[in-house]
Structure formats: structure tokens, C-alpha cells
Structure 1
Amino acid sequence: MDEPLPVTDPLALESQICFALSVASRGVIAAYRPVLEPLKLTHPQYLVMLALWQHAPLSLKDLAGLLHMEPATLSPLTKRLEALGYVQRARNPDDGRGLALSLTDQGRKLRQRAEQVPVEMMRRLQMDEAELTDLHRLMTTLMQRVHP
């Protein structure tokens, strides 16, 4: 006689995507910490710098949109980056009420050092390029679905 298939608990912690994403996210961000320390960057500051290296100059509002963050959250981050000498904050010439962010020479030079971050993270996460490409594709699809 065939035995019935075991019934999987739909609320089992280990089967929840929210649990897997939460634990993985904390672990990945923690793995970035020692890699970013020599650049004097926290993970959120690194995300700001990535956006600026690709799109500067940016208004605080546009930066917030790119990073899916609130401008009020970004304001202290950008102030710290300015104190480090990586960015310059000035009134947006297109909108005198908003801030425009641009890179300083030091911020532009930092990009060269940061180019090793993805390579080092691949090593630390023990994932090859194909695995990371697949994961990125899935995560990007998920991001698009939760932020339509």
C-alpha cells in the first residue's frame, strides 16, 4: 500500500519567503560591513554612492525614488557623505527648495576603489557570476512586483 505524502505545514517558519529574505538580507548586509569599512561607508551610504556614480547629479527626491527610500531617511546619510568629502549638497537650480547632490573629486576617485567590492562580495558569498545573475533577476522581478 502506498503511504500518503506528508502534509507540509503552510505556516512552517522555514518555508516562509519573508523569513528567508529577512535572514538573507541581514547576512548579506553584515558581509558588506568589513568590505565597506576601508571606504568609510556603511551599506546605506554605499547604495547612495552607487546611485550617484551612475546618475549624478541627482535631486534628493530623485535619489529617494531610485533607492526606494524616503527623502527624510536619506538626508542624514547625505550629510555624513558630505562630511566625508564624497558628495556636495547644494540647492537644486531647477527647484530652489530641493537639494541637488553631486560628487566631489574625492567621491569620484572612491569609485575606482569600490570597483573591487562586487568581486570581494562574490567571494564572501561563495557564489559565482551565474548564481548571482539568477538571484539578481529573481530579486529584481520581486522588487518590481512589490513596488509597481
Structure 2
Amino acid sequence: MGKNVATALITGFLLFSVAGVVAANEGMEHGGKHMDEAMAKQHHMMVTYAQVQVKINESLRKSDAKAVEAEARKILVTIPDLKAATPHKNLKQRKALRQIAVTFEADIKKTVAAAKKGDFAGAKSAFAKAEARCNQCHAKFRN
């Protein structure tokens, strides 16, 4: 009986040790999970953002409020997914990621509102802030 108890204790200790190592590394990076559906969706969103950024900047240069709104809508529909996204690194800072997404959304909405009023200087300023959010997020949460 004593040998079985010792084996059980050692096995339990090893299991808890492995769990401790896993827990200690949790929150650092998402690792090789690029193939899961959520991460693939995020990567697709980033490509969309890059394409839409170009179109919004072009529309702002042309003072085309309707095009600004149409392109911005492509970003705004993705915001709920962005708020729920899992970052590449700094996983324990998801609140900060969410806050950047909230501010990004507000900047995009300000861009559209200013463009609709014909305030293209204000729209350009608001959109420059939105673009800065992309850089801020990537610096903190991307590899």
C-alpha cells in the first residue's frame, strides 16, 4: 500500500508541476494557433483594414463623404470581432486590446460624422487617429 501511495503522490506532483509550467506561460503568446478559425478571421480583418484604409484616404482626398461612409462601414461591422479578438502576444492584456478597439471605433465614427458634415479636415484628423490605433495595437499585441 505504501508503494502505491508514494507512486500516486509522485504522479500527482508531476501533474501539478506541468500544470504550473503551463499556467506560468499562459498569457504570453498565442503560440502556433494561426490555423484556428478565430485567428484566421482576425488575419482576414487586418487585410480588409489595410485595403479600406487606402480607400478611405483616397475618398477623403476627393472629399467624397459617401465613399468614406461606405468604406468605414466595412470596418465598423468588424468591431465586435475586434473587441473579442485574441492577441498574438500579451494575452493577459486583453482589456487594453479591447480599449484600443473601442477608441478605434470612436475614431472611425468621428471620421464619418465629419465627412458627412463636409468637414474633411476634421475627417482626415479623426482618421489619422484611427490609423494610429492600428499601429498602437500592432506594437503591443502583434509579433
TM-score by length of 1: 0.32
Greater relative contact order structure (CA < 8 Å, 6+ sep): 2
Q: Rg: which structure is higher?
A: 2
The structure richer in strand per residue is 1
TM-score by length of 2: 0.33
